[in-house]
Amino acid sequence: MNKNISLTDLANKDYKETWDYQTDLLQEIVDVKISNRRNNLQEITKNHFLFVEHPHVYTLGKSGDLSNLLLNENQLKEKGATFYKINRGGDITYHGPGQIVGYPILDLENFFTDIHKYLRLLEETIILTIAEYGLKGARSAGETGVWLDVGTPFARKICAMGIRSSRWVTMHGFALNANVNLGYFDHIIPCGIRGKAVTSMEVELGKKVNAEEVKVKILKHFKTLFEVDEFVE
């Protein structure tokens, strides 16, 4: 099993271009797996981890409800935002500047074959990361992602998650609100959940956070939880 992960920071990159790139990486891994089974080979499969920041974009998961987008086409243009229906789980979310997006493209057969465990460890990665800033993140029953003040009238989401997998290969991932403009969330019903607020590390801490520092902490906890050998740049 290959427990090394190729790490790439795409900086600021268009959502569709990044989605296509993820799809290509996933397909390369799937092709190796198919070849191995057909030809009785044991070629190792690669794993990837992408960091990216997207220009303003709304994405709707395959089970999502379009009515959760509260803007029409002209209003999207006025906001400088784009919209895509995509092939991850979950409903609607927003990506934009100041948000730390992570896309692990892993062959889970190199780690463990359990999608539920995969999502819980992604959540735990973020919970441990924000804990280093004094923020107490938690899970909310039936609602994937990381929240603050769960079980109170003040529950608010700080990190959204949505994934897709094919032959145990993952794509898409998490979006941690670091220094993001939360006003863009006003134009959707985030994740299709009414009456739940969205927050950011900047709002909670009363100051901007260093995104590069946050990424280092994310990778540290991801490496421990997933028992990664090395991140290779």
162 is in an annotated binding site: yes
88 is in an annotated binding site: yes
Residue with the two structure tokens 């100041």: 98
91 is in an annotated binding site: yes
89 is in an annotated binding site: yes
Given a contact cutoff of 8 angstroms between Cβ atoms, the answer to whether 13 and 52 are in contact is yes
CA atoms within 13 A of residue 211's CA, in its CB half-sphere: 19
CA of residue 205 relative to chain centroid, distance:
22
94 is in an annotated binding site: yes
160 is in an annotated binding site: yes
Query: Which tokens is 75 given?
Result: 């209003």
Cα dihedral 188, 190, 196, 201, rounded to 10, equals: -110
Catalytic site includes residue 159: no
Catalytic residue among 81, 191, 198, 219: 191
CA distance 165 to 76: 30
93 is in an annotated binding site: yes
CA distance 98 to 89: 23
206 is in an annotated binding site: no
Known binding residues = 88-95, 160-162, 173-175
Known binding residues for substrate = 88-95, 160-162, 173-175
Residues with catalytic function: 191
